[in-house]
Structure 1
Amino acid sequence: MANGREERNIVMFPFMAAGHLNPFMALARQLERKESYTVTIVSTPLNIQRLKSSLPSKTNIRLAEIPFQGTNYGLPPDIENTDTVSLELVIRLMEASENLESPFKSLLIDISKHNGCAPMCIISDMFLGWTVKVANELGIYHAVFIAGAGYSMAIYFSLSLNVHQFQTDDQEFLLPDFPEASKIQQSQLGNDLRLTDSNNAFWLFRKRQFSHCFCSDAILLNTMEGLGDIGVQYFKRKMGGKPVWMIGPACSSMKNDAYNQEERSEKLSSKTESCCEWLDLHPPASILSIGAFLSHCGWNSILESLSQGVPIIGWPLGGEQCFNSQMLGNEVGVCVEVARGYDSKTKHDEIARVIKMVLGKTEKGEEMRRKANQMKEKMEDALRGGGGFEGSSIKAINDFLGTATSIKKSSILK
């Protein structure tokens, strides 16, 4: 007979890329703090080994691997994630991930037999939208965790689902299903978003997976109230009344990450500890501090920067990164874009000018530092709980868990 924790088992399935694995692990850490829930993260063998090395010695997070034969899909041996691989191999990995349906379903059946009941819910990656079908077949509540920002990911989804409408030579164009967004500039589109070929394998993959996502029971966004809210409205429209929760930031650099102190004591030498203790005795930024990050504007990097109250010099490269940079500059006021794209030709004088502006005692630099510190405080408040206070993201997480627990689907798993 299943006990309470087994009945509340949350199965998480991230896509096989560091930018997806890391926020899933950060979210798993948040969920693990809930005393009555267990978390199982699913991935392929090599990624499971990687995740093991990131866990502290004391954890209740479980790791479950499913078989993966990348060579069957034209991948070299031992390639199971997107690290250091070409775009050609990335799309092969994406297409190979669609063939994990059968082993994933078998794993869920095995977990159910072992625990005596089906998992409470599945939280999957947006690139693994096919898991919605598996969840429906087995009668398990399903949520998609979109690890990016609401605003930029809304644009990313819109472009991916409507490429036929955006094949244009115009330098700027609007998104008809996301009218709140600013005009899209052709220069903001990386190689994976170029709108010249609607038969492109990347576009076809995204369209398949993103279409599945809106059939999920819920969407979880790695953002918080007050950061890119108009993007949240896009997802709410697409979900047709089904819940969209802002549960972020899921980021290991946040102060309230439960493992930070444990990891520190496990991994740092006594000499390093003494140094850190000495630094803690002095005022912030009085000894040595980072004044700004030069960032490609991936969402994980942005959250790390803002969680420390540090402004950003943006050099977005691809994907949704240009839209992150745009939002951070125009809406939040913590970013100045110095260049755009892999092939950008930027003069060193321009880079020097931006660095001096951001780091120096300029009006713009002072304003960016002030707003970055404000954003840091808002991020901490969103995840603060206890003492009668419940941050917006903590409330959203609790609402999600309460909904997933209360909705009883007709499951074939006993």
Structure 2
Amino acid sequence: MCEKLSQLSVPVSVSVNTQAYPQGCIRLKVGVEDAQSDNYIQVTVLVSSDMTIAQLKDKRWVIGKRLAQDHETLFSHGVRSDGDQVFLFILSAQAAHFTLQQHKLDQEQERMDGIVVQLFPRGTGGGDVEKTAPDNKKVPPPVPAKPNVLPKPQLGWTCSMCTLLNKPTRPGCEACGGDRPEDYQVPDIYKPDQQEILRIQQEELATLQYEQAQQEERERNYLNLLATDDQSLFPNASEEECPICFSPAATRGHRAQRVSPRLLQCLKGTILNNRDAEVSCPENCDSKLLDREIQALLTEEEHQRFLEMRLSIAESRSEHSFHCQTPNCPKWCIYEDEVNEFLCELCKETNCILCRNGEAMKCPRCDIIVQKKDGCDWICCLMCKTEICWVTKQARWGPNGNGDISGGCGCRVNQQPCHPNCQNCH
């Protein structure tokens, strides 16, 4: 069959079915250039494997937003000087559904990959077959691909609230004011720029000024406190009803340091008529008048009597208090259980604490302390053997001894006791 056809010289046309080609699309990188310049513009065209060269050559020129015809000149479209712009519309890209947005994405991907495509100039020639470039034209060497450069690490800390990357030395977030992480440390290799150095200097200056102002304020407050402490009383200009005498002349302050002049006499009378060791403020106030306030309100004599009254109240409320037995002596003490004598520092007299408790007395003859254990009111001195009446604290008999009623307590004389409380049976 083939031999017969070959002998007849029958023209045969062979066409490949499009399904025999791969069905996927190919991103073809096309370099657009002219013969007068070495520069070129790289575009990406989305094509398929079954497209012919004629389809790739099929293109249209768009000049002044109009589709130019084959017989029209550039002059008729306003192209008259250098720099005028026209557009080349490739039909194959439209057929492959290639868009400008996809072209921009491809260019971005090329920049990230660092791939440089070098297209060589084509030679000119007629016919359907392209001629190769002349031998005398040197082919430039291919440009090696640039190695991928790792991004420079950025120093700083990221805000946990707004995710802003802040400079290492910044104490708070520049955008939202968030705190810097507590465990973050400024790297040793970090060198702040001029703007950051200026900011740090301003922060240090502001901190120094704040500390100085705070120190000056503390000193002023301390001096004001000392000046206020030197004054026991100072007047208040406002006038209200006195809580003591109900006259419209006093404030409702709870301290004597804030009084009007008319309230001084009321407070003075309150102190003098007080029967307690502490003087409470008028009205429903739990505060107490200070000693310096009381001293400023009273005269020297009144203040001394007030102190003596305080001592008397303290003595009466103390369980183990002992007052000196010397007449008109105001001295007293607080004793312990094992102490039997008290030497008064004011009158220099020795006091027997046991006698004060009613447990002992001094012998009227030898001045030895004798103690009563129990029984009746008759006791005998262990030293001089003198019989003593416990109730009257005197000798039971006269100088001549037992039976001498010329002296002693006179107990049982005329069958009468020496004292209503006497329980002497001897």
Query: Aligning the two structures, in what range does the TM-score lie when normalised by the shorter sequence?
Result: under 0.3
The answer to which structure, 1 or 2, has the higher relative contact order (CA under 8 A, 6+ apart) is 1
